[in-house]
């Protein structure tokens, strides 16, 4: 199915949806097993795992990563690894609707977990496609979509988490290279990534939003030190990364010098699209309703109200995401409305966490082996991270207020307040 690079892009869209579906199905039938028919959910039966983040040891993680890489390479070589990507960069050059068809088909088969590539392909790759040197894009993107290399995102810092523009990691130019020094934190997948997208401060004399520059960095370069961070869930999904005199060629710069804020926004909008489009982990409404029935509280008015709110929030979130996805399929770039989806998901997850805590009580904190109890601890303990991932709740509200609703920008150290003359000790001149 995959077209040769020398073929014109117009030729790649001639395949009909029926032909594509038939060919893709044949490929999947030949290379994967169909999932068993999904049974109706019954409380006490089936897998008992509601955690937001799967806690596995590094050895098992590496094994699963190798399996996921092998599967991604197989489908990429067959033309299904980057269906909507430009032909000249190794994609198949097909409209977005074919990606949707593929995802629906692949979901019917038992294939390795592709979550390892979510950040790299969903956030970093679109940024590289938009801002990187064409030669670098042509080299890096095919390798990313084939899973020859994995990408991570290096934005947050210990002193600049929610306020990304306040980051202090240095990028000093040295001829045709840049020297990076500083620390990043909360970096998912840094320990198994080959490249990373990093934003650093290249000019400390400019206002904080204007002195930033983006780069693609080799995660195996001398001076890059990745250290795991243990969460209260017990897992180590995140890392802190130290850069000590790490050299990056200028050809691996993203965008223009000191224009890294625009680069960061490209990544963040795609990140919020990915997070906002999530399903909330193990907290499906069906499970929650079954939990209420099992513990005999499904007739309680307050419990029913909480369940109704969770269901309503999920439906509204789904409609909002559908509108956003339709826009993306139409070619529109993710915008500040992504913050609404992210806020909606967090709100639903908060309601789910509270519902589970109130219903299970002490069963949530003590592992007695009872089905559907202690397993929810991974959800409740993992949920707070979602308030921060992709931008904190407070930052999301500011974005929606300022860029969606058009409200005045919140006063800060880099903004002018209309009330500056009313501050204590300030003389107002007439």
Quick: pLDDT tens for 224-239: 999 998 888 777 878 9
**Cα separation of 124 and 118, whole Å?**
9
Residue 7, pLDDT above cutoff 60: no
Model pLDDT, residue 237? 78
Location of structure tokens 């579906």? 21
Higher pLDDT among residues 162 and 50, named by residue: 50
Query: Of 157-166, 201-210, 394-403, 415-424, where does mean pLDDT reach its minimum?
Result: 415-424
- How confident is residue 80, by pLDDT bands cut at 50, 70 and 90? very high
Q: Mean pLDDT over residues 78-98, rounded?
A: 94
Higher pLDDT among residues 423 and 369, named by residue: 369
- How confident is residue 333, by pLDDT bands cut at 50, 70 and 90? low
Higher pLDDT among residues 331 and 326, named by residue: 326
Q: Could you tell me the sign of the dihedral formed by the alpha carbons of 362, 364, 366, 369, in that order?
A: positive
Taking CA atoms, 9 is separated from 12, 87, 95, 226, 233, in Å, by 5, 7, 11, 41, 48
Question: Is 277-404 CATH 1.20.140.10?
Answer: yes
Question: Is 152-261 CATH 2.40.110.10?
Answer: yes
**Cα separation of 46 and 218, whole Å?**
42
Residue 388, pLDDT above cutoff 80: no
- How confident is residue 58, by pLDDT bands cut at 50, 70 and 90? confident
Dihedral, CA atoms, 396, 398, 402, 406, nearest 10 degrees? 90
Residue 406, pLDDT above cutoff 90: no
Do 152-261 and 277-404 fold alike per CATH? no
Q: Which two tokens stand for residue 49?
A: 């795992």
Residue 1, pLDDT above cutoff 60: no
Q: CB–CB of 55/234 below 8 Å?
A: yes
Average pLDDT score, the chain:
86
- How confident is residue 415, by pLDDT bands cut at 50, 70 and 90? low
Higher pLDDT among residues 170 and 100, named by residue: 170
DSSP state of 160: B
Q: What percent of the chain has pLDDT over 70?
A: 86
SS3 (DSSP) at 195: strand
Model pLDDT, residue 418? 40
Neighbours of 5 (CB within 10 A): 13
Length of the chain: 430
Q: Is the pTM of this model over 0.85?
A: no
Residue 250, pLDDT above cutoff 70: yes
DSSP state of 33: E
**Cα separation of 82 and 146, whole Å?**
8
What number of H helices and E strands is found in the chain?
A: 12, 10
Q: Mean pLDDT over residues 162-171, rounded?
A: 87
- Partners of residue 110 on adjacent β-strands: 33
Express each pLDDT in 9-31 by its tens digit: 334 447 899 999 999 999 999 99
> Where is 265: in which H helix or E strand?
helix 260-276
Residue 366, pLDDT above cutoff 70: yes
Sequence spans of domains, the chain: 10-24+54-113, 152-261, 277-404
Model pLDDT, residue 4? 40
Q: Mean pLDDT over residues 217-221, rounded?
A: 98
């Amino acid at each position: 199915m995959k077209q040769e690079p020398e073929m014109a892009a117009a030729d790649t869209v001639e395949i009909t949806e029926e032909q594509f579906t038939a060919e893709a199905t044949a490929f999947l039938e030949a290379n994967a097993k169909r999932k068993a028919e999904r049974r109706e959910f019954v409380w006490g039966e089936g897998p008992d795992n509601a955690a937001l983040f799967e806690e596995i040891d590094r050895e098992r993680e590496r094994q699963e990563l190798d399996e996921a890489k092998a599967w991604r390479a197989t489908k990429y070589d067959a033309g299904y690894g980057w269906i909507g990507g430009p032909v000249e960069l190794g994609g198949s050059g097909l409209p977005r609707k074919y990606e949707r068809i593929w995802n629906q088909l692949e979901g019917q088969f038992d294939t390795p977990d592709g979550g390892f590539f979510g950040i790299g392909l969903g956030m970093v790759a679109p940024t590289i496609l938009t801002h990187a040197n064409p030669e670098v894009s042509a080299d890096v993107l095919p390798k990313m979509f084939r899973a020859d290399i994995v990408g991570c995102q290096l934005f947050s810092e210990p002193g600049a988490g929610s306020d990304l523009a306040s980051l202090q990691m240095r990028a000093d130019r040295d001829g045709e290279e840049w020297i990076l020094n500083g620390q990043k934190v909360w970096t998912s997948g840094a320990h198994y990534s080959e490249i990373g997208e990093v934003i650093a401060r290249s000019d400390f004399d400019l206002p904080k939003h204007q002195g930033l520059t983006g780069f693609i960095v080799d995660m195996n370069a001398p001076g890059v030190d990745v250290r795991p961070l243990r969460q209260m869930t017990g897992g180590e999904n995140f890392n802190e990364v130290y850069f000590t005199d790490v050299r990056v060629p200028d050809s691996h710069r993203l965008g223009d010098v000191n224009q890294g804020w625009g680069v960061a926004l490209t990544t963040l909008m795609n990140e919020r699209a990915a997070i906002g489009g999530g399903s909330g982990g193990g907290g499906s409404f069906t499970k929650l309703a079954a939990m209420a029935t099992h513990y005999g509280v499904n007739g309680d008015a307050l419990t029913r109200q909480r369940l109704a709110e969770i269901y309503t929030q999920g439906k509204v979130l789904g409609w909002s995401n559908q509108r956003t996805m339709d826009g993306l399929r139409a070619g529109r770039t993710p915008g500040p409305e992504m913050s609404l989806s992210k806020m909606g998901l967090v709100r639903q997850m908060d309601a789910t966490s509270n519902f589970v805590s109130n219903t299970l009580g002490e069963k949530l904190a003590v592992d007695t082996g009872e089905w559907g109890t202690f397993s929810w601890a991974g959800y409740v303990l993992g949920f707070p991270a979602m308030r921060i991932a992709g931008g904190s709740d407070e930052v999301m509200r500011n974005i929606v207020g300022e860029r969606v609703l058009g409200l005045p920008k919140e006063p800060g150290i880099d903004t002018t307040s209309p009330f500056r003359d009313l501050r204590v000790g300030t003389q107002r001149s007439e």
